[in-house]
Amino acid sequence: MRTPSQPMVYSSRLFTALCLVRTAAGSPDSRSLRGATNGSNTTLTQSSSSSAAGNATGASREIVHESTPRTLSSGWSPWHMGVCPNKKSWSDLKLECDGCTALVNHRRYGSTCDAYCKSQGLQCLNGWEEMNDDCEAKSRARCSEPILGTLEGYRTSDALCECIVPCSQTGESCADSACCQNSADNCFETTFGAAMCKRSCTPGVDSTCRLPFDHPRAQAPRSWRWPDIVCILGSAEVLVKPEVFRSKYGSDCSRYCVEGAGKAVSADDVYAYWISVNEATEATEHVCPDADDSKRGVKCHCSFPDRL
């Protein structure tokens, strides 16, 4: 009986790793705080970049080229940033689109989606010029950028605006808003059914430290399960206990990502494919944000095959 060659074994393992990781990315741990509520029972079809300063969260959003037409009402998406309010109460509403987006008369609001959303007591994420009085986007605009139309001598009176319930400030509960205003914060679960915008979180001290409202792919690393940590900085970044980092992992983030984070999260031998995003050999100690000087650790940022 012939033994498969080593390259074939590695290829097979890598394929298995990719399949398992993608499955995990779409199926985060089931919790009561797991994704935003949608008042209109729909979600935005494609992700797009957050355009208002300070409106970002840990999850990355897709940047759409301005010349790329797209529709905002062609399907269903399992995730969107923040919480969508009930659009039926919006003033100057022309047409409800998927997710938190609607076609609205924005001219009397300075022709910006930022001003329109604020007038509804909401926060703007994105704005677009529509194609033909419908939910199809013609070109994207920043929230604060006037959407005036592209036809010469004609000023459009409407636009597609994406508005959400305002994100929470640092130290505030984000259980209802599902997002944080400060881009340095994460919406960490503090107790079952509660969450707060914080720059760092220590499992067992600040409770679960899960990230229930992040995109499922950002939740996949499950940093709240990683061993030997002082605090969690984000979805895949932690501070590791200095003494353990040196004695157990040889001051090597690559070893920590494989033998620590990877083994704690991945089944079978898939952990072997975890990698360090930052410098493999790390010695600098950092203090957990918003904590006293005693909470110090070495920063390790880990990833795995589907991020390569």
Q: What is the CA radius of gyration of the chain?
A: 22
pLDDT confidence of residue 292: 85
Helices (H), the chain: 6-26, 113-119, 216-219, 242-249, 253-255, 263-265
Amino acid 86: pLDDT? 92
Q: Pull the structure tokens for residue 22.
A: 């993608």
Could you tell me which of 223, 211, 210, 271 has the C-alpha nearest to residue 59? Answer: 211
Q: Within the chain, which residues score under 70 in pLDDT?
A: 1-78, 150-154, 280-282, 305-308
pLDDT digits (tens, 9 = 90+) for 122-150: 999 999 999 889 999 999 999 999 999 86
Q: What is the pLDDT of residues 201-232, one digit of tens each?
A: 999 887 899 999 999 888 999 999 999 999 99
What is the reported pLDDT for 278?
Answer: 82
